[in-house]
């Protein structure tokens, strides 16, 4: 079974721009979660989607948004980029996203904001 894939793997943007990242979950998985990983803050939960609906949301500003398509693929968008948005963005998928379910991570998209 193919794992979680994320595109692009690397991205360089400038302040004020916007960016869209893509995540394809493991086949059959309907829950997709997004995380931001930085050296200072560690792994922080952004949001989780299930059946095209945002079900959980972390403590991030409204500049961070996402969506999920009917095939469970998900995108996240960051508008008006700031230097502090430089990070590794990870997505993880699971069957239903319920509490005791294993999440499988993709390799991440490394975003650098100049």
Partner 1 sequence: GENVEQHPSTLSVQEGDSAVIKCTYSDSASNYFPWYKQELGKGPQLIIDIRSNVGEKKDQRIAVTLNKTAKHFSLHITETQPEDSAVYFCAASIEGDMRFGAGTRLTVKP
Q: Which is nearer to partner 1, 15 or 97 (CB)?
A: 97
As measured in angstroms, the least distance from the Cβ of 106 to partner 1 is: 5
What are the residues binding partner 1 (CB under 8 A)? Answer: 4, 31, 33, 35, 42-45, 48, 55-56, 58, 90, 92, 97-108
Q: Tell the smallest beta-carbon distance from residue 79 to partner 1 (Å).
A: 24
Q: Which is nearer to partner 1, 16 or 84 (CB)?
A: 84
Q: What is the DSSP track for the chain?
A: ----EEE-SEEEE-TT--EEEEEEPPTT--EEEEEEEETTTEEEEEEEEETTEEEEE-S--TTEEEEE-TTS-EEEEE-S--GGG-EEEEEEEESS--TTPPPEE---EEEEE-
* Closer CB to partner 1, 45 or 67, in the complex: 45
Shortest distance in whole angstroms from residue 55 CB to partner 1: 7
Closest to partner 1 by CB, 17 or 96: 96
- DSSP annotation of 63: T
Strand, coil or helix: what is 66? Answer: strand
Min. distance of Cβ 2 from partner 1 in angstroms?
Answer: 14
């Amino acid at each position: 079974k193919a794992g979680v894939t994320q595109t692009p793997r690397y991205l360089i943007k400038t302040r004020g721009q916007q960016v869209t990242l893509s995540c394809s979950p493991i086949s059959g998985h309907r829950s997709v979660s997004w995380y931001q990983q930085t050296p200072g803050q560690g792994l922080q939960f952004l949001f989780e989607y299930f059946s095209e609906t945002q079900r959980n949301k972390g403590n991030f500003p409204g500049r961070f948004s996402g969506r999920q398509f009917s095939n469970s693929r998900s995108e996240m968008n960051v508008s008006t980029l700031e230097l502090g948005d430089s990070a590794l963005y990870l997505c993880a998928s699971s069957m239903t996203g319920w509490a005791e379910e294993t999440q499988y991570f993709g390799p991440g998209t490394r975003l650098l904001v100049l």
